[in-house]
Every structure is written in structure tokens, then in C-alpha cells.
Structure 1
Amino acid sequence: MLPRLFIFIFCISWNLHAQKTNIQDIESKLNNKPKPDSNYVNLLNQAGDYYYDEQNHSKALEYYKQALQNAQKLNFKNGIVRSYSNLASAYRFMGEYNSSIENHKKAIEISNTRNDETQLAKSYINLGNVYRNTADFTEAINCYLKALEYSTKIKHIRYQSACLNNLGEIYRQQNNLDEALKYYQQALDINTKINDERQIATNLNNIGIIHFRKEEYQKALEVIDKSEALSEKANNKRLLQLNYINKGNIYFNTKKITLAKTYFEKALVLIREAKDLYNEALVKQNLSRIASAEKDYKQAEKLLIESLSLAEKTGSKAILAETYYDYMLLGAYMNKPADSVSYYANLYTKLKNELYSQQNAEEIAKLQNRFEYNQKIQENTLLKKDNRLKELEAIGMRLLSSKQAQENEILQRDAEVNELKIKEQEAEQKIQEQQLKTEKETSQKEKALRQLEQQKREIEQRQRDKERETQAIINILLITIIGLAVMGLGYMFYSLSKIRKQKQAIEKQAIAIREQADEIFEQSNQITAQNEELRQSSEEILAQRDLLHEQNNLLENERKNTLDSIRYAKNIQQALLPFPKRLNEYFSHFFALYQPKDIVSGDFYYFIEKEGKGFLALADCTGHGVPGAFMSSLGIATLENIIMAKNIYTPSEILQELDKTIQESLHQQDTGNQDGMDISICVIDKHHKTIEFAGAHNGAYILIDNEFKELEANKHGIGGYEITKNKSFQNQTLSFEQSCQIFLFSDGFQDQFGGDKNKKYSRKRFKELIEQTSLLSTDIQEQYLINELNEWKRDYEQIDDISVIRAKI
């Protein structure tokens, strides 16, 4: 009596689980919200997520229902969809599958009206999981294929992995072990590339079960041990349950009953914490088989009754079928009446046929064929979208030639504008300095005038005080003159003489004060005249500024017209690049990540096929923008002439001739011009399965028969008379057996500043990125590189043209 294995389904859930430390804060915010709004709905869902993680699904349901009611009142669509998805997940783990299906369908209905493809992919994965729990495999695989279509369309790698894993589940349950292993391995490859250890553990668990079903017990145990280690590292208790269940089954089949029972009991502890009725039914069924093997038939029957009750509550047809089978065997062991044994045998046969009918297998095959057919239609549609016109190549050269004269004129005018702006700034600065100086001098003179006036008032006050004092003395003298005639008369003459001297001194001081006042008044008149001169100068400068503004507007219009022409030139430059149709006919897979810093680029890539050989190159020309575009046009034309007209086919000789032609075309020996390019070139011979490579200061990466290599370039570039004397280029030849992938690139990606510390991405990190993603499909790798570049660059400015191409043979 063999135990039946349970396989973990990769489940994508909306729930963004809150941490334990935040629940009090969340509930406090809910209590302090005076009026429900969208934030209030999000807080209710976060509270539900907390209790969901705590395995308190009934409490989680209360919050999710409140969130749904408030979201519906507010017509908050995101909140409604999230609440339906959360309710569905909670119902699923409570074994209420009909309610779970109903809520998932409501979330899908709203997401369809909003064309939310990300949410649709997520909801179909989770709905497929519920159908799988109820053994409705046709509906389950239909959901997974829909989810795979959406996740492929939006290039969501993790969702694709989930779909592949769950499709493997269906084929495993249909006993198509090879097909199941294929899907599990594809999911594992994706998760390994993105280093998602949590899902790697899931995939390893499932692959281990396939080995178990093939009776490769030791191999199964090794793989599941790896899964268990990762589950413990991530504290993934749900997956640990399954690791323990599966190890219990392996030990049971290898007759190690004690170890099997230990692992089933370890799983049961975690299952009861999670209140997972589905897996509790499964483990009790397996423990019943162990009790039966130990001939403890009463304990076996007790556990089977509990398992049957749980299976009926959850609606799991797969566990019900296995329980009926065990009841049939147990009845025979316990010598129960034949009618009882026959009853359970009939129930088992009926349900087993329903689960594994030929009709289900045919329906699954139809669904898979429909998905593959839709994929082929999409690929054919993409191949038909090549609408580039060859006539643009000749026109492009003429337009690009005219742009140099326009660019020079713009630069000259920009220089004139800058000179006028500098003069304007200097004049304004001079006015401001003169005004500040005048204001300072005026302030100082006004302060001096105020001080003089204050001194004048003080002198006049002292004069009045002296006069009053003199009058007082005279009065005293008149009173005392009668008694002291002789003495008084003498003293009077003395006092009058003294007063006369004091009065003369005061009068001199008054005259000096008036003279100072006159001098200050004259200075004030001079300041007023200077202010008038400054006002007139200011008016003249303002008039010049208005004239400058008018000239700036004219120049801005001319600049806009020139930029429009340059933008059109971008279309011409794109037309000069290889046609996608030509590339896709020669290579089995190809992509080009091509992001100019400015409107037009100084990078270019090139491909031509001649006499059974393919010539693939990528170059980084001096500068970027319009000057770089001129150099790239010259490079393309020169390469075309070297290969097609001069019939030079060896990469090192092509570079040697390219260097010579660039120097001659730019008259570098006479002018000292140092413009040129860094370039890598490959010559591919499919018939002999060889690749020849040479590089001028630009290397390459190559993946030959799944072995990743770096091809070094020579240390000098193309062009530049003074620095390129006596240089040569080394030719490298490689062979391949099955397949080969070539990666060519400029230095724009690795030199881009960004990250937390605003540093360069670096050559080492770029090499690791290419190597780690080299086994992904071209579409997935291209999107991965774009995402990595955007995440690194953030809001920092792009500093150079960026080009990366991948070609698979």
C-alpha cells in the first residue's frame, strides 16, 4: 500500500503581508480615521494580511470584507480587486473552494474591464490553484495557460515560472512524468537565473517527487534535502510541510517506517499551526497507512475517518479517492463484510475514473495545442512588421552631410548669444556694484550730516545756557554793586571780558558748522547727479537686454527647426542599421539594445552576408550626438566598401583597412585630427562552424556550447594619426559544435553612473550580468537588461550612447 504524494503548487497571491510589529500601528490608524478613503481601504487589507500570515483566516476574512465594503462605497477599483483576491486566498486555505472561485472570478471580471494584464496573470494563476485542489484539471490548465499568455506578453519572469511549475503539476497528476519534469525544469532554470531561492526550493521539491514516482529514491531524497535547506533558510513553513510529507513517503517506500512516521508528525505540527485542512487530511491518510503497516488497524481506521471528514469538508476529490482506496484495503485486512469493502471499491473506481479520464487528457492536449498555436501566430506577426525602406540609405547620407553645416552655424550663434549674455551679466553686475557704492556713500554722508546737525544743536544749546548764565551774573552784579561798588565794578569788567571771549569762540564754531553744512549740501547735489547718470545707463542696458531677448527668440526658433531636422535624421540613421528581417533570417535569435544619449547616436552595429559568411560588427565612435552620427555613417560606408568592393574577409585585415581609410578620409596626418572609433567584428562561417574575431579597443563575450568566454581586443582603436603608428590587430578563431551566441557591446552600459553611491556600473558587473542571463531567451534577456539599466541609472543623466547586441547561431 503506497502513500500518495502531495506536490506544492506555486501560488501567487495579492497579499502584501504586514509584519507583526506594525499591527498595532495599523489598527491605531484605522481607529483615528474620521472618514473612510482609499488609504483606509488599504489599511484594512494590510490588517487582514497580518492575520492571514498568523494563520488566523477567520479574523483576516473580517478585515477583507470590511475593505471590500468600503472600496465598493468609494468605487475604489484597485481596492475592490485587491479585496476580492485576498478573500479568495483566505477561503482557499480554509478549504471553502466555491467561495474562493467566486471571489477570484469577480477580481478577473473587473481586471478585464480595466485591461490590467498583470492582475489577470496573477488571478488566473491563483484560480488555477483552486481548481487543482478540487481536481478540476481541465479548468486548472485552462487558467494556467491564460496566465502564461499574459505573463509572456508583459514579460513577467516570475509569473512565467509559476505557470510552468503549475503546468508540471497537472501533467504529474495525469502521470505524464516526463512532461511534468520538463515544465518543472524550465521553472527551475528561470528561478535560478533570477536567484529566487524561495521558488528554487519549490521547484526542487517537485522535481524530487518526479524521481520518487520513478522509484529513484536516493536521487529524490538528495533533491528534497536541498529544498528543505532553502525552506529553513527562508523560514517557509508551508513548503517545509511538503518537504516533510515527501520525505515521509520516501522513507515509507524504502521500509524505514520510524523515520517516515517522524517526518509525517513534524509536518502535522506545522499544518495544525497553519490550520491547513487539505494537508491535514493528506498527512492523516499517510499516518493511517503507517498504522496499517504496523497492524494497528483500529488506529488506522480512526485516522482514515478523520482524513475522510477533512477531505469532504475541503472538497478535495484526489484525497477522497485515495481515502476510499485505503478503506477498501483496510476493510479486507480487518475482515469486514464484503458489501462494505465493495462499497468503497465502487466509490474509489468511480472517482478515480472521473479524475483521470481520457476526456481530461484530450482536453488538456487541446488547451496546450491552442496555446502553442497562438504563440506561433504572434511570432509570425512580428516577422511581418519590417517596413523599412532601402531608399532612405542614399537620402540619409545627403541629409547627414547637410547637418554638419547647420550644426556649425548653431554653434557659432550659440557662441554669440553666450558672449552677449556675458556682457549683459557684466553690465548688470556693474550697475549693482555702483548702486551699492552710491548707497553706501550716501548713507555715510547722511550720517555725517546728522552728526554735524546734532553738534550744532548742542553748541546752540550751550550758547543759550551761557547767555542765561551771563544774565544771572549781571543780575547778581547789579544787586551787589551798591554795596561793593569798587570791587564789583572791577569784577564786572573782568567778567564781561571773559564772556566776550567765550562769545567769540562760539561764533567761530557756528561759522565752521555752516561751512561744513554747505560742503555736505554740495556733495548731496553731486550724488544726485551721479544717480541720474546711473539711471540713464540702466535704461540703455535694459534696452540692450530687450534686444538680446529678441535675438534669443530668433535663435531659439532656428534651434527648434534644426532639432526637428536632427530628429528626422534619427530615422535616417535607424534606416542605415541592419534590417531585422535580414538578421532574423541569418541568426536563430537576435536582439539589439540601442539607446543613444542624444537624438542621434555615435554607436552603430553592422551586418552583411557574402559568399556564405556573415559579417557582424559593433562600433563606438568618437563623441555622441551629431558629430558621433557623422562618424558612424562614415564607419558604415567604409565597412561596406571594404567587404563588398575590396573583398577583404579576415577581421584583422578589415580593421587594418578601416583604420587606414579613416585616417585618409579625415586627413589626420595633415590636421592632427584624432577622431575614430572602438570596434569589434566577427566573421561567421556556419558551414565550417567557425567564428573569427578581432577587436580594436572593444572586446566581446561568446557562449560556445554552453561555455562562456571573453574575447580580448587589441589596446588601440581605429583612427587618430599621432597615437596609431605601427599598430596591428590580432585575429582569433573559434570552433563550435552545437550552438554559439555572440555578445557585442560599447562601453556605455558599464560606464553609466548610478546605484546608491552614484558610481559606474563597472566592466566586471556588466560581464557577470551578461553571463548570468546568457541562457535566457532573447526577449527575456533584453527586458532584463533594460530593467537592470533603469534600476541602476535611476534619475541620473545618461552619459554615453549604450549598445548591446546578442546573436545566436
Structure 2
Amino acid sequence: MQRFVIIILLLLCHLSAKPQNKAVIDSLSDLLKSAKDTSKVLVLNQLAWNYRNSDLSQAVAYGEQSIALAQSIKYHRGLAEAYNMLGVVQRNIGNYSKATDFYFKALQVAEQYNITQQISYSNLNLGDIFKYQKNYEQAVLYINKAIQSFENIKDQRGIGYGYIRLGEVYQEQGLYQEALKAYEKSLEVRISLKDKSAIESTTNRLGNLYELMNDYPQAIKYLTQSLEIGSEINDLKSIAGTQADLSRLYFKQGDDDKAIEYAEQSLELGQKLDTRESIKRASQVLAEIYAKKENYKKAYYYQSILMEMKDSLFNQESFIRINNLQKNYETQRKQAEIDLLNKDKQIQNLILNILIGGLLLFLFLVFALYRINRHRKNVNQILNNQNKIIEKRNEDITASINYAKRIQDAYLPSSERIAKYLPEHFIFFKPRDIVSGDFYWFAEVEKKIVLAAVDCTGHGVPGAFMSLIGNNLLNQIVLNMGVTMPEVILSAMNAGVNEVLQQKQTQNRDSMDAALCVIDLKNKVLEFAGAKSPLLYIQNNQLYFIKGNKSTVGDIDREEVKIFVKHTIDISIPTTFYIFSDGFPDQFGGSENKKFLTKNLKELLFSIHQRPMKEQEILVQATFRDWIGDYSQIDDVTVIGVKV
């Protein structure tokens, strides 16, 4: 009788569930005091579910208690449900590997004991994981299996949840109309259930989808509904996320005041809850707004909050790749040094033996001559063997560096990819060694083209390590964070280099010179910011030269905050522009073995700027080759030219 009463009360709690509804949680807590065995498992599962969006540590604690109890009493249905609950909690935390583990455990138990509803939820959750892995075909397959199964057992709540997941998969693929249909089906089901928490979640997704479809009024309408319902049910995590979404929308519409208001509210609440996603989104909007207002102090402050999210700045995979390259290089270099020392020692022993033989020459002349002759043959064999070992070590070191070159070539953008957006361009890229401390970078973000030429401290293997750091920072700042303001990108890169190399703690002085252009072909505007590197552009047969800031990206500076200046150029008339590293101007050559100098490079580029880009590239290469002659190249060289 007691178990029957508890199940009825649990059903009522589930139907009216609100993630932070104190009355519901208090009721469940009271039930927990008297519940036993299977009833207690059900209560613990509901407590975990009700805490899944508000107090994640509490949700984990209740879920783990439920699993332990369900296993001890062999309550299989409750165990499968507990595994699925904990999978959802781990997904909300962002630990997808643990979530996957719990989902497979739930599916295994559900299939073993034919628990249909939990099989459905397990399939749905696995579809969700396939979505995170970008395996969309499998994601749609598993989610549709789950929806069909929910329809067979008339589980309306499961049907609504399934269509939400299906809409997310379509949305990620850019299939917005299919996503809209799925979300609307989910909303229809959830309204019929009067489930406010689920309605809030669905209206939030509809708002975000309409934003992607550039229908901002509809987006604001649904997000405002989501915020109202979230406030009503006191879902703090959802409130913080929706505030961040609204701030981004108002910023896109040019309403900076409302954008700041919502972003500051989201940031404050996100910091209280320690929800990194809302903190990141809110601080990004605030950084962009204050950068636009030229309030660089506040822009840098909010950009610094973004940089504190270490996992959002520099992923572990890049560290592993760098460390492996470095370890291989250091191991092989040390082994070569050991082999050389051994060779020296053997030669010393040989000399000693020869001296001893000389002292004994008078007594054992014939025997000694024979011994010396045979010993020389042995020594020659040893020397030949040692030379072969050294040659092999050198080949291995060279092979490792060639492998590093293949990695570096892989992350440099191809000319074909750049030509899709900038048909008239050339790139003259000539490393001094096998790998380069120079690199160039290209991306198209929100219909803007970002192009950079970067010169890192050093060349060869050390320079290549720095270039890998620079490339990863640009990927994070521009592609992941969506920043397209050149001065803000350089400031963020500076903070990133300081952090990755721990320059304040280690006094490391490595840095990067950079020329960074953002091209808005639609609005005919070129924005430039430089860290020591310049921009040269030509319009109406007139040459203009813009110097970069004196500050570099990275290195320890007296200034607390490095401010990079943005220069804006109207490109509504035909414009040819060039960015380059200092390798070409600083190269020694010519009849007097002097530097080529920036002045001569400017004259060269001006004299050829009206020629086709392919021809310009050939002329730049030929000039460099003729200038260097028989001298050695002293630095990596990068010259990029573009006609717009």
C-alpha cells in the first residue's frame, strides 16, 4: 500500500516538475525519509532529475545512491532509469565520455530485462551522443527508433523529447526547415502535457533556430517566452543561457544598451552558478560591444574572462602534439651527442694503444707491426660503423623534422581554398629551414575574410613550435569565438601567448610579429591591425604604407594591456594590398652583401602591382633569388599580395 501511494505521488511530482521548484523537491525529500526498496529508488531518481539543471553535484549524489540501492535489491527498471538519469547529468556537466558509459549501461540492462521505455530513452540518449560526435546519420537513425518506440507505448513525454533531439541534429546540419518542423511538433506535445520546464526548453530552441534563420523578431519572441517561463520555474541555468542569447540578438540588431543589460545579467548569474557556456557567451558579447565603442579597457577585461576558460583557448590535443614532436626531437639529438662522445672516447683509447705499442716497438718490432696493422683495420671498421650510426641518427632527425613539416603544411591554408574568396592573390612562402617560424592563416567567418601573415620568434623547429601555438590561437579566437575585429584578435593572441608560455612566471620572451587583415567584400571595407608588421596598399596608382604597432604579440611588456590600433580602408575602388614578414627586407645579398630593405621592397611591389597576380609572384621570387645569389638565407620569408 505504501509503495502504491509513493508511486502516485511521484507521478504527480513528475507531471508538474520544475527543475528548482522548492515545493516539489521538498515533497520528494519528505518521501525519501519513509520510502524503502524500489520506492526509494524511484524517489532518488526523481530527485536526481529535478536537480539536473540546478545543482549538478546533488543530482550526481542522488543518482549514485539510486544505482547502489537498485543493484543491491536487483530492481532492474530502476537501475536502467538511474543510469539514464546520471547520463543526462554528466551530459549537462559536459563530460560526454561518462555520459556515453552510463547510456550503454542503461541500454544493456533495459535490453536484458526487456524494459521497453528505458530501451527507448537509451536509444534517444545514444542518438544525442552520435550528434556530439557529428555522426548525423546514426544520430537520426537512433532518435527515430526512439520516437517510434515512444509512439508504440504512447509515451507523450518521450515523443516530445525525441522531436527536440531530432530538431537539434537537423539544426547542426543546417537543415533549418526540418529542424523547425521537429521543434514545433515537440512544442505541440509539451503544451498538451502542460510541462512548463519542457515548454521553456522548446521555446528556447525555437528562438535560437529563428536567429540562425535571420528572423530576429521571431527569435526575440520565443526567447522572451523562454526567459519568462524560466523565471517562473526558477531554472537559473536556463535563465543565464537565455539572457546571453538575448544579449547577442540585441547586439546584432544594434541595440547595445539592451545587449549590455542582458549580457551583464547573464554573466553575473553564470559566475554564481559556474556555468562556463553562459559566461563565455555573455563575456564575448560584452567584449565585442566595448571594442566597437573603443572602450578597450572594458573590452580587454571581458576578453580576459574568455581567456580564463583554458579549455576554450588551447585544447589538450595541441599540447600532446607539440610535446610529442619536442620529445622525439630532444631524444634523437641527445642520442647523437652520446654517440659522438663514445666515438671520441674510442679514439682516445686507440691513441693510448698506439703509444704503448710504440714503447714496445724495440722488443717486438715484427709482432708489433703486425698488431698495429690489424688494429688499424679494426679501428677503421669501428670508425666506419660509427659514421654509419651518426648518418642514421642524422637521417632519423631529418625524417622527424620532415614529419613536422608535413604537419605544418597541413594546417597552412591552400591557395585553392583562398582563391574561392580572393581569386586574385599570390603567396610567396620560403622557409629558411625545413620547417618555418613564419606562417600564414586564412578564414571566412560571417561573410568576412580574415587573412594574416605571422612571423614567430626563431626559425626551424623552435619557430615551428611557436607557429603551431599561433595557428591554434587564431583558430580558437576567430573560428570558435567568432571574433572578427583585427585589433581584438591581436590582443587576444597576446594574452594567449602569455598564458600558454607562462611568460610572467618564466620570463620567457618569445613573441610573434603579425599583419592581420579583415576584408568585408560586401561593405567594401578593409580593416588592418599590425604587431610590428606593416600593410602596403595601392589605389589610383598611389602607394600607401601603414606601420604596425611597436608592440609584438607575446613577450613581457611594461604595459599591463597591449592596445593594437585598427586602420579602416575604403576598398570601393580597385585596391591591391600586400602584407609580409621581415625576412625579405632583412635578407643580405647583392654585390655589396647588404640588406634588401623595406624601401626597395615597396618600390618592387609598386612597380609590379598592375600585373596579374601569378606574374607578380614569379617576379617576387625571381627578385629574391637574384638578390640572395650565393649567400645563405638568414630568415623565413613570407609575402602575400591580394587584389580586391
TM-score by length of 2: 0.45
From the CA coordinates, give the structure whose radius of gyration is larger: 1
TM-score by length of 1: 0.37
